[in-house]
């Protein structure tokens, strides 16, 4: 079976068969077989390809890593856990946002706390102009899922909808910036996801609690880990269901 993940990753990063062959010191036809026939490269080759493509081995070759090793690595991906999102130090947000250069993904309902940072939207514009891919997913203010979440968190009628509209006013300058795409989702938000390159904050959600008061995980992606990849794939699933944001 062809390895479509590997094919897509190479195309997305502008990598040719020849470039991969040179890095791994194999014939280009061997690289082609890794893609078209789904052959699994030796570990030393997988490491090099994953590094040059900035993808995890467990994503590119899911069957190449034993369940035991995936479990061990997943534990290592958890840098720290916070009892609630408000406990995350400001300097941690400053560092992971500031260091990001390639990928910024946000999945939330409003994430109003992000735009309370004075330079956040300006920093996103600067990063997009230097080549970062930025994808922002907000709850559809008029959706049933937003109404239900507002009720579950006991926010009061229309409060969450108002928060989303409030947050969106800060993002208006991003609407026509190349490299930035904004969508609305109407899904049950099990977790809010804030990805900055290979680091991620996952704000879990607990019934009856506002997101700021629910636990949060700080993850750092490892080559054969599966925890970071689980939330990254969840983001992709929601992104594919979402619609362009009009505001």
Q: In this structure, are 8 and 126 located in the same domain? A: no
Chosen domain end from 40, 64, 88: 64
Could you give the CA distance from residue 225 to residue 152 in angstroms, rounded to a whole number?
A: 33
Q: In this structure, are 163 and 222 located in the same domain? A: yes
Could you give the CA distance from residue 21 to residue 31 in angstroms, rounded to a whole number?
A: 6
Q: What is the CATH number of the domain that holds 191?
A: 3.30.870.10
Q: How far is C-alpha 5 from the chain's CA centre?
A: 17
Nearest to 117 by CA among 84, 95, 133: 95
Chosen domain end from 39, 64, 89: 64
Q: In this structure, are 123 and 192 located in the same domain? A: yes
Q: In this structure, are 40 and 133 located in the same domain? A: no
DSSP β-bridge partners for residue 71 = none
Chosen domain end from 64, 86, 112: 64
Nearest to 51 by CA among 82, 77, 13, 87: 13
Q: In this structure, are 13 and 118 located in the same domain? A: no
Q: In this structure, are 98 and 203 located in the same domain? A: yes
Q: What is the CATH number of the domain that holds 51?
A: 1.10.260.40
Q: In this structure, are 136 and 237 located in the same domain? A: yes
- Per the structure, how many domains does the chain have? 2
Q: In this structure, are 46 and 117 located in the same domain? A: no
Q: Reduced to 3 states, what is the DSSP secondary structure of residue 105? A: strand
Nearest to 117 by CA among 150, 137, 91, 79: 91
Q: What is the pLDDT along the chain (247 residues), one digit of tens a residue?
A: 899 889 988 988 899 999 999 999 999 999 999 999 889 998 889 988 988 888 878 778 877 766 666 666 667 899 999 999 999 999 999 999 999 999 999 999 999 999 988 899 999 999 999 999 999 999 999 999 999 999 988 888 889 999 999 999 999 999 999 999 999 999 999 999 999 999 999 999 999 898 999 999 999 988 766 789 899 999 999 999 999 999 9
Provide the domain limits for residue 41: 4-64
pLDDT value at residue 53: 84
Could you give the CA distance from residue 236 to residue 242 in angstroms, rounded to a whole number?
A: 10
Q: In this structure, are 144 and 221 located in the same domain? A: yes
The model's pTM: 0.77
Q: Which residue has the tokens 């979402």?
A: 242
- Contact (CB, 8 A) for 34 and 6: yes
Q: In this structure, are 19 and 84 located in the same domain? A: no
Across 95-230, the runs of DSSP E, i.e. the strands, are 103-107, 133-139, 180-185, 191-196, 199-204, 216-220
Kindly list the distances between the CA atom of residue 193 and the CA atoms of 85, 156, 232, 246, in Å, as whole numbers in the listed order. 12, 24, 8, 22
């Amino acid at each position: 079976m062809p390895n479509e993940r590997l094919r897509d990753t190479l195309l997305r990063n502008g990598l040719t068969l020849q470039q991969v062959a040179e890095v791994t010191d194999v014939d280009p036809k061997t690289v082609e077989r890794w893609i078209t026939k789904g052959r699994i490269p030796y570990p030393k080759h997988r490491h090099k390809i994953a590094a040059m493509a900035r993808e995890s081995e467990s994503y590119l070759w899911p069957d190449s890593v034993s369940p035991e090793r995936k479990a061990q690595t997943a534990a290592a991906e958890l840098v720290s856990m916070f009892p609630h999102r408000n406990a995350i130090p400001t300097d941690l947000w400053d560092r992971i946002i500031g260091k990001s250069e390639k990928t910024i993904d946000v999945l939330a309902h409003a994430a109003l706390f992000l735009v309370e940072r004075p330079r956040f939207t300006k920093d996103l514009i600067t990063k997009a102009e230097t080549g970062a891919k930025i994808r922002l997913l907000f709850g559809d203010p008029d959706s049933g899922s937003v109404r239900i979440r507002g009720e579950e968190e006991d926010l009061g009628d229309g409060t969450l909808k108002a928060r989303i509209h409030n947050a969106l006013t800060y993002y208006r300058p991003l609407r026509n910036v190349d490299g930035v795409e904004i969508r609305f989702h109407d899904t049950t938000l099990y977790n809010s996801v804030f990805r900055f390159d290979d680091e991620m904050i996952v704000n879990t959600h607990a019934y009856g609690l506002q997101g700021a008061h629910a636990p949060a995980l700080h993850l750092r992606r490892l080559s054969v880990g599966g925890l970071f990849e689980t939330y990254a794939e969840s983001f992709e699933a929601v992104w594919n269901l979402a619609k362009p944001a009009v505001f």
